């Protein structure tokens, strides 16, 4: 069994780089960009942890994973132990290890980051989870079901199968309740399947997590829009549910409301990514859903978040001649994960920061031909604490384009609030909850994830799902 | 999987299906639609619900075979299945006693106008239906329309049946006769809906059209279905599909519906080649 080397030796180990596909190869395929640490790399990397008395990294984690302890277990070569330790706080480590903005969370708080490079906590989380998923695949019986308690006889409806809904379902089935997940689309996983592309989050991983839940007894019903196919009231009155969790996500794409957004060739990132990820348009005509031909095209993506990076990198993979990010602030303000920005650059994506579109130009068929932009400069900080972008007068210019993808965030989906006005929402349409219990203004109905916070992160959605599950459990006990 | 309970051709390439979907059948209201996906490789397409039978748990759709998906669908028979069906989506038609209501259906649009026309009658309106098509063979639901309409008209472009000309000829005649028309519903090809809206605009007759933009999810998530209404972008799947015909930007709708025309033809051609190959094999 391995042990931690002396502190001095530990400080000398360099952060291990992530093995990756070559940028010039990967910008033409949809396979995963990062290959994951080998067992040796993981062991070496985990040994870098200083095992601080007060592990500040944990403060940086939205769900307070016991990071020092799971790293210690990696060093002790007890990977099942490490997995159990992570799972105490994080239900979806294989996913979060890949998509969390670690550089703004745990790794930012790691004491090593002050002197150099933090421990690669996210990559280690992913390593532990991947090994565990592989082993689970070779031993069919699921780990979740063995921990399941005896049935409570209570039934909970989970609306939406994104990370919030899945995490909530996992804890509720573990507590012995009957759980049914209703999903509007034909496929389960929410943004994890329709938004985040295969090359960043292989869909097989999401499938495995969902299969695990199904084996543990969670019932999944696709093609079911709650509020339309089945009303929320009917869930309680006719279908006999005792409580409901709403994890419906932030599914309404924002547009800038500038001239020309109605032109052909202007997509929301949600539409572009859904066509590619969910409908597999990149395999047209084997798959029936078409998408505008990116081959040889000039593509501009408006925005600087993860969604923008995903869209621009997809366009590159689909053969675009030029794929560019157009962002109104500077790179320092970009909300995207650092790794994705770096990957995008390596893959040949152009960055036009401090630039904002004014209008789109089109031909007589209203097909996009270009856009007019203006240069920006940064003024004093705004409400979000980031420096406010201000247009520079007289700096307008036009550029020729074939496709524009608007990735400036999502509003809240109005479907359920249209049909159920008794559920209180704020002025942005987000559901208002008690932050301790995630309870909404309607008794027995809880909510969490992007529908409450607005577009946020997988880990926050997952954490909210689990907080709600605990509260639902308490609520059902009083019933 | 959703089972097809009944499948029958109404005209050469228009087919009626009753699909077993009890939850949708129970809740569906006039004006709403479903989205279906035939199989794993399929695309998601919206189709308006023409009727439903909550007791039997079925919804009725009427499909004109135009593209690959609708043509493949029209090859299905009773007993076959459809992989995914979701609904009822969109807002239900606004219903009230307007007075005299004119329901205009063009081609397969008659099928879509049918449930709303029935609902208008039930709401106490004097209902006039105008049912138009290119020729006699393409006229559908003639008997059904006649049964509940207070007045009904048929038009064909080639004069093979009913009035020789367009649905708007009849509408214009009613307007010229100074009939008091309080509400017009027009469903059919976009140029027809636009012509109807132009005919009623000078007389300020409330005119509702049902739009058929390209859709994917049908839940407001993608924005692919956006249409310009009064200069404002609306998502047809959650804000519609019915809108004020005097405010819709039809030119933009036509242009947006053409985005994939080239690709769709490619897909259809490939599909037809495969069918021919299959047929050849069978013969061999
Ligand atoms: C392209 C993209 C990239 C991203 N990248 C990252 C990243 O790298 N890291 C990160 O942490 N976060 C990322 N995010 C954000 C993250 O994915 C979300 O914060 C997270 O998925 C929210 O989870 P959720 O469960 O609240 O909702 P969602 O994942 O949105 O799931 C909601 C589900 O509910 C369904 N639904 C909606 N309404 C109904 C209804 N009425 N009835 C039934 N079902 C319904 C929807 O179809 C959907 O499947 C990204 C988001 C996008 C769009
Ligand atoms: S079909 Fe996607 S938003 Fe309407």
Model confidence over A49-80: pLDDT tens digits?
A: 999 999 999 999 988 899 999 999 999 999 99
Q: Would residue B162 be called left, alpha or beta, if left means φ above 0 and alpha means ψ between -120 and 50 degrees?
A: left
* A250 CA from centroid of ligand 1 (Å): 7
- Cβ contact A223–B86 (<8 Å): yes
Q: Which distant-in-sequence residues (6+ apart) come within 8 Å of A426 by Cβ?
A: A432
Residue A290 C-alpha, separation from nearest chain B C-alpha, in angstroms: 7
| Pocket lining: A249 vs ligand 1, CB cutoff 6 Å | yes
| pLDDT tens column, B44-94 | 999 999 999 999 999 999 999 888 899 999 999 999 999 999 999 999 998
A353: nearest Cα among A315, A302, A317: A302
| CATH 3.50.50.60 placement within chain A | 149-251+411-478, 255-408
Check CB contact under 8 Å for B220 and A225.
no
Which residues in chain A touch residue B256, judged by CB atoms under 8 angstroms apart?
262, 264, 366
Cβ–Cβ of B259/A265 closer than 8 Å? yes
- The 10s digit of each residue's pLDDT in A240-272 is 999 999 999 988 999 999 999 999 999 999 999
Whether B221 is in the pocket of ligand 2, judged by its Cβ within 6 Å, is yes
Mean pLDDT of chain B: 91
Q: What is the per-residue pLDDT for B12?
A: 82
Q: Which residues of A touch B24 (CB under 8 A)?
A: 229
Q: CATH fold of B100-210, please?
A: Rossmann fold (3.40.50)
pLDDT of residue A12: 87
Does the pLDDT at position A222 exceed 80? yes
pLDDT-above-90 percentage for chain B: 73
Q: Which residue has the higher pLDDT, A386 or B275?
A: A386
**Residue B261: closest C-alpha in chain A:** A290
Where do the structural domains in chain B lie, given as residue ranges? 2-89, 100-210
pLDDT (tens digit per residue) in A430-468: 999 999 999 999 999 999 999 999 989 999 999 999 999
Where are the CATH 1.10.1060.10 domain residues in chain A?
A: 7-138
| Closest ligand to the CA of B227 | 2
CB contact under 8 A, B263 and A284: yes
- pLDDT band for position A107 (cuts 50, 70, 90): very high
Tokens representing A150 are 């005896």
pLDDT at B283: 61
Question: Would you say residue B276 has pLDDT above 60?
Answer: yes
Q: Is the CB of B54 under 6 A from ligand 2?
A: no
Task: Pull the structure tokens for residue A334.
Answer: 């970009």
Shortest alpha-carbon distance between residue A328 and chain B (Å): 22
Query: Does any ligand 2 atom lie closer than 6 A to the CB of residue B90?
Result: no
Cβ of B219 within 8 Å of Cβ of A413? The answer is yes
Q: Cα(A473) to centroid of ligand 1, in Å?
A: 24
Helix B190-200 / helix B167-176 crossing angle, nearest 10 deg: 10
Determine which of B66, B217, B234 to mutate to test the interface with A (most A C-beta atoms within 10 Å). Answer: B217
Question: Nearest Cβ partner of A252 from B220, B252, B255?
Answer: B220
Phi/psi for A106 (5° steps) reads -55, -45
Cα-to-centroid distance, B256 and ligand 2 (Å): 14
Mark yes or no for CB contact B23/A229 under 8 Å.
yes
Residue whose pair of structure tokens reads 């019932």 in the numeric block: A219
Chain B residues touching residue A227 (CB < 8 angstroms): none
Determine, for residues B41 and A286 on separate chains, whether the beta-carbon distance falls below 8 Å.
yes
CB pairs under 8 A between A and B: 127
So what's the pLDDT on residue A5? 87
Lowest mean pLDDT among A346-350, B207-211, B257-261: B257-261
Tell the CATH superfamily of the B2-89 domain: Translation factors (2.40.30.10)
The pLDDT of residue A228 is above 60: yes
- Calculate mean pLDDT across residues A291-319: 94
**B-interface mutation test, from A186, A222, A266, A295, most B Cβ less than 10 A away:** A186
- The CATH H-level superfamily of A7-138 is Alpha-helical ferredoxin (1.10.1060.10)
- Mean pLDDT over A316-323 rounds to 95
pLDDT at A148 over 60: no
CB A419 within 8 A of CB A425: no
Q: Where are the beta strands (DSSP E) in A148-214?
A: 155-159, 178-182
Q: What is the mean pLDDT of residues B123-150?
A: 90
**B interface toward A at CB cutoff 8 Å?**
23-24, 27, 37, 41-44, 68-69, 83-89, 216-217, 219-224, 226, 228, 233, 235, 238, 249, 251-252, 255-256, 258-260, 263-264, 266-267, 270
- pLDDT digit string (tens) for B96-105? 999 999 999 9
Asked if B168 contacts B193 with a C-beta cutoff of 8 angstroms, the reply is no
Residue A1 is predicted with a pLDDT of 62
Question: Per-residue pLDDT tens for B155-184?
Answer: 999 999 989 999 999 999 999 999 899 999
Q: Does the pLDDT of residue A140 top 80, yes or no?
A: no
Distance CA A343, CA A336 (A): 11
Average pLDDT over residues B254-281: 80
Which ligand gives the minimal distance to the CA of A447?
Answer: 1
Identify the band that residue A144 occupies on the pLDDT scale cut at 50, 70 and 90: very low
Could you tell me which residues are beta bridge partners of residue A302?
A326, A406
Band of pLDDT at residue A162, cut at 50, 70 and 90: very high
Cβ separation B83–A222 shorter than 8 A: no
pLDDT one-digit tens code per residue, A351-363: 999 999 999 999 9
DSSP secondary structure, B157-226, as one string:
TTSSSSEES-HHHHHHHHHHTT----EEEEESSHHHHHHHHHHHGGGT-EEEEE-----SSSSSSS-TTE
pLDDT band at A397 (very low <50, low <70, confident <90, very high): very high
Helix (H, G, I), strand (E, B) or coil at A338: helix
Residue A2 has pLDDT above 80, yes or no: no
Assembly ipTM: 0.91
| Residues B223, A231: C-beta atoms closer than 8 Å | no
**What length does chain B have?**
284
Q: How far apart are the first and last CA of chain B?
A: 33
Task: Tell me which residue in A264, A285, A414 faces B220 most closely, judged by beta carbons.
Answer: A414
Compute, in angstroms, the gap from residue B72 CA to the centroid of ligand 1: 33
pLDDT for position A311 = 97
- Residues A228, A299: Cα–Cα separation, whole Å: 36
Write down the pLDDT at residue B17: 95
Instruction: Say whether pLDDT at A138 is over 80.
Output: no
For A255-408, CATH gives 3.50.50.60
| Ligand sitting nearest the alpha carbon of A164 | 1
pLDDT in the model for residue A147: 53
C-alpha B216 – ligand 2 centre gap (Å): 6
What is the CATH number assigned to the segment(s) A149-251+411-478?
3.50.50.60
Q: Which positions in chain A touch B214 (Cβ < 8 Å)?
A: none
Which among A262, A274, A292 has CB closest to B217?
A274
pLDDT of residue A383: 84
* pLDDT exceeds 60 at position A48: yes
């Amino acid at each position: 069994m391995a042990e931690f080397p002396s502190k001095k030796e530990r400080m000398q180990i360099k952060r291990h780089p992530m093995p990756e596909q070559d940028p010039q190869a990967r910008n033409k395929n949809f396979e995963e960009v990062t290959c994951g640490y080998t067992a040796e790399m993981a062991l070496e990397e985990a040994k870098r942890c200083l095992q601080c008395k007060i592990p500040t990294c944990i403060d940086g984690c939205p769900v307070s994973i016991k990071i020092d302890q799971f790293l210690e277990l990696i060093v002790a070569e007890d990977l099942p132990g490490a997995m159990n330790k992570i799972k105490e706080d994080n239900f979806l480590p294989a996913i979060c290890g890949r998509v969390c903005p670690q550089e703004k969370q745990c790794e930012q708080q790691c004491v090593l980051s002050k002197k150099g490079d933090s421990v690669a906590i996210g990559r280690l989380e992913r390593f532990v989870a991947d090994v565990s998923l592989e082993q689970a695949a070779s031993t069919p019986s699921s780990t979740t079901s063995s921990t399941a308690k005896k049935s409570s006889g209570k039934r909970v409806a989970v609306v939406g199968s994104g990370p919030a809904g899945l995490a909530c379902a996992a804890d509720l089935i573990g507590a012995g309740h009957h759980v049914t997940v209703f999903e509007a689309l034909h496929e389960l996983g929410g943004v994890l399947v329709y938004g985040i592309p295969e090359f960043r989050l292989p869909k097989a991983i999401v499938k495995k997590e969902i299969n695990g839940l199904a084996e543990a007894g969670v019932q999944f019903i696709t093609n079911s829009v709650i509020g339309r196919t089945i009303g929320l009231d009917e869930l309680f009155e006719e279908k006999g549910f005792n409580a409901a969790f709403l994890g419906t996500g932030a599914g309404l794409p924002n547009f800038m409301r500038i001239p020309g957004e109605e032109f052909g060739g202007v997509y929301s990132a949600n539409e572009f990514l859904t066509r590619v990820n969910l409908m597999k348009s990149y395999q047209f005509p084997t798959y029936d859903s078409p998408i505008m031909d990116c081959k040889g095209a000039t593509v501009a993506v408006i925005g600087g978040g993860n969604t923008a990076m995903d869209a621009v990198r997809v366009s590159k993979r689909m053969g675009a001649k030029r794929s560019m990010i157009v962002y109104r602030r500077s790179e320092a303000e970009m909300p995207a994960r650092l790794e994705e920005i770096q990957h995008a650059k390596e893959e040949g994506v152009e960055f036009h920061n401090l630039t904002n579109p004014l209008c789109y130009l089109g031909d007589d068929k209203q097909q996009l031909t270009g856009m007019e932009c203006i240069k920006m400069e940064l003024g004093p900080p705004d409400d979000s604490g980031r420096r406010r972008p201000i247009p520079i007068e007289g700096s307008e210019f036009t550029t020729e384009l074939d496709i524009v993808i608007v990735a400036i965030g999502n509003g809240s989906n109005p479907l359920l609030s249209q049909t159920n006005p008794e559920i209180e929402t704020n002025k942005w349409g987000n559901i208002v909850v008690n932050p301790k219990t995630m309870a909404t203004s309607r008794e027995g109905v809880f909510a969490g994830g992007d529908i409450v916070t607005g577009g946020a992160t997988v880990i926050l959605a997952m954490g909210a799902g689990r907080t709600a599950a605990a509260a639902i459990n308490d609520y059902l006990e009083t019933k | 999987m959703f089972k097809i309970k009944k499948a029958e051709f109404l005209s050469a390439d228009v087919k009626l299906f009753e699909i077993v979907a009890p939850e949708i059948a129970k809740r569906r209201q006039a004006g709403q639609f479903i989205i279906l996906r035939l199989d794993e490789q399929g695309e998601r397409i919206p189709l308006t619900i023409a009727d439903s039978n909550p007791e039997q748990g079925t919804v009725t759709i009427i499909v004109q075979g135009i593209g690959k998906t609708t043509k493949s669908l029209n090859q299905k028979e009773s007993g076959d299945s459809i992989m995914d069906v979701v609904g009822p989506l969109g807002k239900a038609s606004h219903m009230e006693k307007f007075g005299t209501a004119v329901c205009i259906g063009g081609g397969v649009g008659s099928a879509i106008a049918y449930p709303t026309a029935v609902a208008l009658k039930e709401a106490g309106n004097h209902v006039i239906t105008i049912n138009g098509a290119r020729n006699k063979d393409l006229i559908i639901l003639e008997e059904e329309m006649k049964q509940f309409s207070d007045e009904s008209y048929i038009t064909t472009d080639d004069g093979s049946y009913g009035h020789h000309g367009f649905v708007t000829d009849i509408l214009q005649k009613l307007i010229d006769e100074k009939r008091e028309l309080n509400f017009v519903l027009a469903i059919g090809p976009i140029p027809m809906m636009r012509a109807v809206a132009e005919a009623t605009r000078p007389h300020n007759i409330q005119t509702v059209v049902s739009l058929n933009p390209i859709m994917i999810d049908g839940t407001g998530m993608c924005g692919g279905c956006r249409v310009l209404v009064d200069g404002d972008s609306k998502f047809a799947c959650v804000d519609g599909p019915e809108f004020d015909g005097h405010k819709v930007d039809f030119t933009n709708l036509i242009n947006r519906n053409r985005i994939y025309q080239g690709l769709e033809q490619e897909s259809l051609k490939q599909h037809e080649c495969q069918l021919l190959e299959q047929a050849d094999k069978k013969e061999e």
